[in-house]
């Protein structure tokens, strides 16, 4: 059940596969005879200096992979200097996750420039008082940004979860919600409990006005996650978003939706230099990070590989995955004639016809 929950996509999993295929269609055009003896992978997003342009994507229920769950991921991300985006649906409380990241950060001189190693991903519930309280808790705990997920007004049909009648095992809970309201993933005969939860609790009437409402109740910058079109990117800009995350939810929402990497150029062209544009979906190698940066992304978010590392070896596993991506990006930059992230531009890539 846990493996299928992590690995699956919606319906026929076409978009899940296309997220990888999209990267594989992009070819690199390296520059030669550039002095790459010194390289700098650092970048800046939302006035934060980051050692690497790699973040951990929000992923629910991480205790399914390891008993320490989100705490382990937060510690490892902070050690490497990668911002972790914590899911609303975490199985460890947001306050504890923020503290774990801060404590690990304080031990790492290399990440001393990061104001806080964590952002918070938000699902807007029908109960706006509950939603407001989540935002207040995230801000009080020291999270430095909010990521509003907009591509899940209802949950995509994940047939593996339906077959397994997905629910959380005994002893595991929605740590950010259970203590506030008693909310839990129901056991639903013949159906995914998560699908039932979304149908009952998540607000399907969310509009751009709600983005303005969210910004009115917090001082944190709000990024919009789940954008795949240039016109939606412009609406996000017009309604005050401070960043955009190009995402199709890892192929888990609308099957046959465009691959994230294929949507990226249109979104970047729409907002220009007005907003940072990040991307998730299908990133498995340092060369994928390079390709995304070349097509205009400010940084990438990595999901499933982090979960596999977490399942194998907890903190050490997540740290190893992130270090692999960092080191691969470093080598890819050197072999492409890039000494810093700003050197990476669209001349480095060719999209196969």
Go through the domains of the chain in sequence order and give each one's CATH number: 1-346 (3.20.20.70)
Question: How do residues 32-81 score in pLDDT, each as one tens digit?
Answer: 999 999 999 999 999 999 999 999 999 999 999 999 999 999 999 999 99
More confident residue, 290 or 48: 290
Is the predicted pLDDT of residue 290 greater than 80, yes or no?
Answer: yes
Annotated binding site: 5, 58-60, 87, 121, 123, 149, 158, 225, 247, 249, 252, 280-284, 303-304
Annotated binding site for FMN: 58-60, 87, 121, 149, 158, 225, 247, 280-284, 303-304
Find, among 319, 228, 220, 210, the residue nearest to 266 by Cα.
228
pTM above the 0.95 mark?
yes
pLDDT at 111: 46
Choice among 102-111, 126-135, 156-165 with the minimum mean pLDDT? 102-111
Question: How do residues 73-112 score in pLDDT, each as one tens digit?
Answer: 999 999 999 999 999 999 999 999 999 998 988 777 554 5
pLDDT at 212: 97
Annotated binding site for glyoxylate: 5, 123, 249, 252
Find, among 19, 13, 17, 32, the residue nearest to 279 by Cα.
19
Q: In the 8-state DSSP scheme, what is residue 256?
A: T
39: number of Cβ within 10 Å = 15
Catalytic residues: 249
CA distances for 203 relative to 43, 123, 136, 210, angstroms: 35, 8, 19, 11
340: number of Cβ within 10 Å = 13
Is the predicted pLDDT of residue 237 greater than 80, yes or no?
Answer: yes
50: number of Cβ within 10 Å = 23
Cβ atoms of 307 and 321 closer than 8 Å: no
Is the predicted pLDDT of residue 178 greater than 90, yes or no?
Answer: no
Percent of the chain whose predicted confidence (pLDDT) is above 90: 92
Token pair of 173 as six digits: 């809970």
Calpha distance 321→307 (Å, rounded): 9
Token pair of 182 as six digits: 């008693």
pLDDT at 180: 81
Scanning the chain, the segments in alpha helix (DSSP H) are 2-7, 14-24, 69-80, 94-106, 128-141, 159-164, 178-181, 193-201, 208-216, 230-238, 260-271, 286-294, 304-335
């Amino acid at each position: 059940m846990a493996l299928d929950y992590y690995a699956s996509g919606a319906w026929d999993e076409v978009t899940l596969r296309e997220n990888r295929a999209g990267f594989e269609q992009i070819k690199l055009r390296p520059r030669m005879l550039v002095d790459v003896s010194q390289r700098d992978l650092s970048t800046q997003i939302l006035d934060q200096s980051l050692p690497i342009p790699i973040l951990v994507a929000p992923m629910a229920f991480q205790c399914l992979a390891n008993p320490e769950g989100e705490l382990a991921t937060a510690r490892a991300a902070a050690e490497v200097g990668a911002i972790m985006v914590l899911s609303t649906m975490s199985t460890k409380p947001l306050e504890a996750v923020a503290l774990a990241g801060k404590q690990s950060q304080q031990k790492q001189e290399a990440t001393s420039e990061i104001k806080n190693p964590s952002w918070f991903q938000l699902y807007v519930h029908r109960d706006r008082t509950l939603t407001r309280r989540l935002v207040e808790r995230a801000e009080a705990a020291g999270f430095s940004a909010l990521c509003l997920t907009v591509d899940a007004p209802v949950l995509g049909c994940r047939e593996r979860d339906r077959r397994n009648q997905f629910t959380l095992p005994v002893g595991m809970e929605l740590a950010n919600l259970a203590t506030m309201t008693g909310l839990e993933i129901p056991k639903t005969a013949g159906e995914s409990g998560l699908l039932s939860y979304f149908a009952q609790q998540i607000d399907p009437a969310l509009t751009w006005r709600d983005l303005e409402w969210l910004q009115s109740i917090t001082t944190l910058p709000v990024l919009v996650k789940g954008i795949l079109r240039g016109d939606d990117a412009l609406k996000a800009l017009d309604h005050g978003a401070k960043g955009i995350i190009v995402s199709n939810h890892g192929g888990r929402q609308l099957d046959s939706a465009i691959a994230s990497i294929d949507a990226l150029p249109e979104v970047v062209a729409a907002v220009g230099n007005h907003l940072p544009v990040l991307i998730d979906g299908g990133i498995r190698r340092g060369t994928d990070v390079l390709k995304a940066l070349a097509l205009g992304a400010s940084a990438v978010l990595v999901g499933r590989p982090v979960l596999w590392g977490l399942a194998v070896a907890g903190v050490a596993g997540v740290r190893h995955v992130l270090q692999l991506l960092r080191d691969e990006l470093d080598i890819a930059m050197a072999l492409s004639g890039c000494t810093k992230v700003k050197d990476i531009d669209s001349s480095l890539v060719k999209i196969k016809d």
